[in-house]
Structures are given as structure tokens and as C-alpha cells.
Structure 1
Amino acid sequence: IVETKNHHVILFGINVKVGISQKQIVECCQSLENDLKNRFTGFEINIKVSPMHHY
């Protein structure tokens, strides 16, 4: 969470499972964004999606 005089932003990333469709990723992000906006009113929500990392 970034909260300054001029900015109120929640930044985070999510990893997605290999093989998940683009449609499922978009639906997941939209659902998360809506839930976060309801919970953290006044904050900008910025979700970044990355492919699953393999060790």
C-alpha cells in the first residue's frame, strides 16, 4: 500500500497457473479489483499479472 499526500494506491502482483486462459485471468483480476475497491475506498487498485515462476 502506497499512501502519500497525493497518492493512495494498492500495488501487488499475482502469479497465474500455467495453462489458465486469458479469459480466466481477466475475470480473476476484475473480481479482485472490485472486491478491493469495495474494501479500500479512495485507493487506486493496480494489479499486475505475471506467469508462474519455475524454480
Structure 2
Amino acid sequence: MAGDQKAKGKKEQAKGKAKEVVGRAVGNERMEAEGRMGQSKGDARQAKEKAKDTFKH
């Protein structure tokens, strides 16, 4: 389960980064902001899973 969540966090980060880059390339500020938000969401998921791992051990 935790591995699935970690992978999901990485996927969200990658999708967010891609969306941010595309938004910047085409000059779409909204898409760029959505990309940054996706990266933040992925970062938060990763941090949550790391914290859960820390308290397990």
C-alpha cells in the first residue's frame, strides 16, 4: 500500500512538472500554475509517506 502511494506521489510530481513546462512554453499561466500545484500535491503525498515510514520503524 505504501509503495503504491509513493509511486502515486512521484507520478503526480512528474505530471505537474510536465504541465508546468508545457504551460511556460506556450505562455499559458493557468496551466503553469496547475503544474506547480500538481507538483506540490505530489510532494505532500511523498512527505506523508516518508513520515509514516519513519514512525513505523
Normalised by the shorter chain, which TM-score bucket? 0.3 to 0.5
Normalised TM-score (structure 2):
0.39
- Which structure has more relative contact order (CA 8 Å, sep 6+)? It is 1
Normalised TM-score (structure 1):
0.40
